[in-house]
Amino acid sequence: MKRTAIAVLFAFVIQAVPLAAQPGDPREAHWIRLSTSDFDLYTCGSEKEGRDLLRSFEQMRGFFQKASPVPLLDDFPIRVVAFSSEEQFSFYSPGGKVVAYYSPGPVTDYIVMQDPSHQSYPFAIHEYMHLLIRHSGLRIPVWLNEGWADVYSTLRPVRGGVAVGDLLNERLRMLETAPWMPLETLYSVPSDSSLLTENARIGMFYAESWALVHMLFLSPEYADNFPKFLVALNRGQPAEEAFQAAWQRTTAQVLEDLQNYLRRRKLNGRIFEVPLGKADSAVEVTKLDGFAARLMLADLTVGLNRRTDAKQEYESLARLRPDNMQVHEALGFAALAVKDTSEARVNFEKAFAEGDSNPLMCLKLALLDAAARQPAEKMRAVLQRALQSKPDYGDALFEMALVQMNAREFQHAIDSLMSIRKVTPQRAPFVFSSLAYSYLQTGDLEKAKANALTSRKWATDSAQEAGIDRILALSEARAKSRFAPHPGEKTEHAGGVLRGVDCQGSDRRLVLNIASKPVLFDLPEEAAIEILHAGPDQELHLGCGPMPQMQMAVDYAPASVIKNGPAGVVRRIQY
């Protein structure tokens, strides 16, 4: 299959385009939006071409849902922008010989195409693969990202499934007619390398990347251990070490294998016994007015890092429609892109006050409110609107769970966390450790331990592991305690002034002055108590007898009968 060189957005120097209207300016074109639950396709081509392209994307998505080596996340529709000509595309192109590119935008992900024709479909598949890899959280080098996307770009339906791995003749010709770059150089090329903008070398970089991934992913000698190779790279191992871990091959041996592989001329392909998706989603077609088209294209310039142009356009649109919440939302995301959090928060608050219920905007506003130390109830209200708009929004559910945990509403936090449909590898340590901690607080030690162990499998650093180990230690100590909790336990909170610890035989009781009266609490073994120290240079030793007076708060499981005895069992101390 013939094709021109493809490169992702970051591989090129962005060229600014003045905002003043010019001949061929796509802001002057007639745009339509074709929407399904998974894609928003904007095109100034014909509706038929748009429908055909949208059907292709829905089919791609259906295939990757079943066959993708990385998880497919779909919190929000992906935005596809298809111009109708090279001239129009040039206004919003990153430059070079690009005919399509993928860009994480301010609100959602973008796949941008020169036109919606069938000849552009392989490029769309290539960019869709970049999107999948980014969403998976896999940390892989540029050569693997590009080569893998190239291999998948040949995807085509066949009897019984989908074929992947057709030869790319331009890549083969390059490998046969030009000197190769050393594999050590290929491995080490970063995303911002000048090599990726040098016409004399960029072709070889892509050709060699495609060939190497083709062998690793599809050849019988390498394919079985390809997942192990990905795991090693994702953990930060250099390529040389990852090859050793997966195949016990040195760089020299890999190069020799690759050269022998290419000499076969008939390379291995693979048929996935998974059909393309049926693309039977209902399509909503909307004609965009000039304002909506300009707003969409301004969003696109943010993804291109032309933020000055974007801000000028947003401000121009704001003057046209000063009460338009979408413009305030867009200005907020544009400010957030340059880390101007105060400007972002001001604009998000305006959009929120005008009734904006975009769940992503609401989430960002809640996070900005948290950073600005706004009241928890303000965050809760913003997150509630996000979840009213999108009840299964995983990020909003997680943040709501944190608000609920801080309010000691642990059963509600468990409900929020259990409503998250998809847990990414990056979020897994936090989701499962939050579940573990919440179950610990409700007395369900078995579920606390199970979730803590799951969290530990996903932990990526020693700080995460240490926090999880504290939950495990508390679970173990409470399970062995004579004051062991039971599932469904609810704690109460009290604060006062510490007087000391009253010891009578094996009984130890914490004594606090609350409202000028002494109140006793049963003390389990110290290992079974969660102790949080907020003050400087003052350690707590729960020995018998009077103690220096200090402010102290306790969470405790109330006694079933309170006469003159202890108010309950201490679970948590904060001082």
* Average pLDDT of adjacent 10-residue blocks, the chain of 575 residues: 34 37 80 92 93 87 72 77 93 85 83 92 90 84 94 85 87 92 91 64 91 94 93 91 96 95 78 63 89 92 86 90 91 89 95 95 96 95 97 95 96 97 87 98 97 94 93 97 93 94 90 93 94 73 88 91 78 94
Q: Answer yes or no: do 239 and 330 share one domain.
A: no
**Residue 47 in contact with residue 112, Cβ under 8 Å?**
no
In a domain, 543, yes or no: yes
Position 104 in a domain: yes
Nearest-angstrom CA–CA distance, 56 and 62: 10
Evaluate whether 49 touches 116 at the Cβ level (below 8 Å). Answer: yes
> Is residue 92 domain-shared with residue 182, that is, in the same domain?
yes
Per the structure, the count of domains in the chain is: 3
Domain encompassing residue 529: 492-574
| Tokens 């389990």, located at residue | 524
Are 227 and 348 found together in one domain? Answer: no
Structure confidence at residue 13 (pLDDT): 30
pLDDT, position 194 = 66
Amino acid making up residue 98 = V
Cβ count within 10 A of residue 321: 12
pTM above 0.85, yes or no: no
pLDDT for 280-314, tens place per residue? 568 899 999 999 999 999 998 888 888 888 888 99
Q: Write the DSSP string, 265-323.
A: SS---EEES-PPP------EEEEPPHHHHHHHHHHHHHHTT-HHHHHHHHHHHHHHSTT
Cβ atoms of 574 and 566 within 8 Å: the answer is: no
Predicted pLDDT at 542: 85
Q: Which of 241, 136, 231, 114 is nearest to 187 (CA)?
A: 241
What are the tens digits of pLDDT across the range 382-435? 999 999 999 999 999 999 999 999 999 999 999 999 999 888 878 899 999 999
116 and 45 housed in the same domain? yes
Distance CA 395, CA 505 (A): 50
Contacts made by residues 367-370, CB under 8 angstroms, sequence distance 24+: 367/399, 368/341, 368/344, 369/345
- Same domain as 123, residue 196: yes
Sequence-distant (≥ 6) Cβ neighbours of residue 63 within 8 angstroms: 155, 162, 272, 274, 275, 276, 277
pLDDT score, position 488: 93
Residues 6+ apart with CB under 8 A from 295: 314, 317, 326, 327, 330
Closest CA to 258 of 267, 270, 271, 269: 267
Task: Please tell me whether residue 386 adopts helix, strand or coil conformation.
Answer: helix
> Does residue 233 sit within a domain?
yes
Q: Kindly state whether residues 45 and 159 are assigned to the same domain.
A: yes
Domain membership flag for residue 364: no
Other beta carbons less than 10 A from residue 560's beta carbon: 6
Beta strands in 17-160 (DSSP E): 32-35, 39-43, 78-82, 100-104, 109-113, 156-158
Does 161 lie in the same domain as 67? yes
In a domain, 331, yes or no: yes
478 within some domain: no
- Per-chain mean pLDDT for the chain: 87
- The whole-number pLDDT of residue 29 equals 92
Q: Strands, E, within 58-105: which ranges?
A: 78-82, 100-104
Q: Is residue 398 part of a domain?
A: no
- How many other C-beta atoms lie within 10 A of the C-beta of residue 162? 20
Task: Determine the pLDDT at residue 538.
Answer: 65
Query: Which pLDDT score is estimated for 352?
Result: 96
